[in-house]
Amino acid sequence: MSLYNRIGILAITLGWICLISTQTNAQGLGNSPYSSLGMGEFYGDGFSANTGMGQSGVSTANGFQINNLNPALWVKNRFTTLDIGVIGQYKAIASGTDRQQNAGGNLAYVALAFPVSAKWTLGASLKPYSFVDFDNSSTRNVPGTPFDAVYYTTGKGGVNKASITNAFQIGKYLSLGLESSYFFGNIRRASEVLLPLGEPPYYLVGISERTTYSDFAFRGGAALRIPLKKDNKLNLNLGASYSFKTNLNASQTSIFELSQGSNVITAASDTVTNEIKGYLTLPTQYQVGMSLEWPFKLIVSADYNSQSWSQYRGFDKQNGGLKNVGRVNLGVEYLPRFSSLSYFDNVRYRVGFSYGKTPYMVDNKDVNDTNVSLGFTFPMGRGYQNFISIAFVGGQRGAMGTGMVRERYGRAVLGITLLEKWFVKQKID
């Protein structure tokens, strides 16, 4: 099949991916108080396999599934590979004496990779980047009256990321990659006050903001394999990726409304600002990692990533109190016996650990996040060329204390991987 036909197939797949995005845009993972800060809560770049390894793996890929942590590792996929994943989360939130439990789910990723040549892999992906989902209320006295006003703050929405990745093999041991992404989405925030003055129905005063984002961003990566033993029996892998600082175009509309019960007092909703142009600054991020790999047997991986959230600027050109963060990710993948006749010898088993600070601060206190993970990849179909992967993550973010919020969460990521030898010429004996 010619290069033009391959690119045509990729374009059709991208259209299908965009169609899916219209159904999944702005879906979150349940109420998250911390998503009210900055641009919300982040999904991360890893797919199901990396999630089972504590989100580690920036230096190595098994070649059967797509590794999205490092654009350079897409070249390891020698067959056309389609990866689809969904994510679900259960969360228990505690603050002081208040308790809440909630759950949510979303599309985690859709990705397609196929080799254009022996040393060039072209890919496309769609995944949610961040989400905002919070609903808070508080009560305060109206000065000079015996009445208490109820204050509500809510937020919904998110930002998605559609990407084209080019990965190249340079020589025998080095690979390079570039991810070109288009960010798009919108976030809606509202602040309302219920004034219990006089007889009901009471007055409700509110202002809502809708901010729409769209722009391009870029991420580069490199991976190096260093043989430590002959015949490819043991390798040392080194990897790194870098996300460039980006200003996303933004447009914001604000609306003011005064109502009493179901009746709107103002003749119509008053548009305070209409499509005011601005931008949001995404900070730089780098990831570095190393791993020891016994091919088709065992991988031990360790990564460190850092993101400069002090560079972040919202639509209001404020940082929002976000700070630079670092995170450590550790993981192990074990394959008992590749190509064995025993089914469970071909199952990949994973464990992982991750610890780091979040960009958020509450009352000048850091909000830390710690989790452990467990994952499996089950071969399916004729010749075991397709896979079902599942990863479980359990962790805690934040802690109990004055003004603090503790979130304990359980997360599951289910992925399906389909391999197809689309461009292998048939031979007749």
Give the 3-state secondary structure of 348-402: EEEEEEEEEEEEEEECCEEEEEEEEEEEEEEEECHHHCEEEEEEEEEEEECCCCC
Question: What are the start-end ranges of the E strands in 9-119?
Answer: 41-42, 80-95, 98-117
Q: Does a structural domain hold residue 232?
A: yes
What are the mean pLDDT values of the chain's consecutive 10-residue runs (429 residues total)? 48 49 56 83 92 96 93 94 94 87 91 93 95 86 80 90 96 96 93 79 83 95 94 92 94 83 57 80 95 95 95 87 93 91 91 93 85 96 85 92 85 93 52
At residue 343, φ and ψ (nearest 5 deg) are -60, -50
- List the CATH number of the domain containing 129: 2.40.160.60
Supply the pLDDT for residue 217. 95
Q: Does a structural domain hold residue 39?
A: yes
Burial class (CB in 10 A: 0-12, 13-18, 19+), 269: middle
Q: Does a structural domain hold residue 428?
A: no
Cα-Cα-Cα-Cα torsion 181, 220, 389, 301, nearest 10 degrees, comes to -160
Which domain, by its residues, includes 410? 3-420
Question: For residue 418, which amino acid is it?
Answer: L
Q: Does a structural domain hold residue 159?
A: yes
Tell me the pLDDT tens digit for each residue of 97-135: 888 898 889 999 999 998 999 999 999 999 999 999 888
Supply the pLDDT for residue 272. 67
Burial class (CB in 10 A: 0-12, 13-18, 19+), 423: middle
In the three-class reduction of DSSP (H, G, I as helix; E, B as strand; rest coil), residue 176 is classed as: strand
In the three-class reduction of DSSP (H, G, I as helix; E, B as strand; rest coil), residue 263 is classed as: strand
Q: Does a structural domain hold residue 426?
A: no
Q: Given the structure tokens 């064995």, which residue do they identify? A: 340
Q: Does a structural domain hold residue 425?
A: no
What residues have CB less than 8 Å from 257, skipping those under 6 apart? Answer: 205, 206, 207, 208, 264, 266, 269, 270
Supply the pLDDT for residue 6. 47
Supply the pLDDT for residue 26. 45
Q: Given the structure tokens 């228990």, which residue do they identify? A: 92
Domains in the chain: how many in total?
1
Model-level pTM?
0.85
Q: Does a structural domain hold residue 22?
A: yes
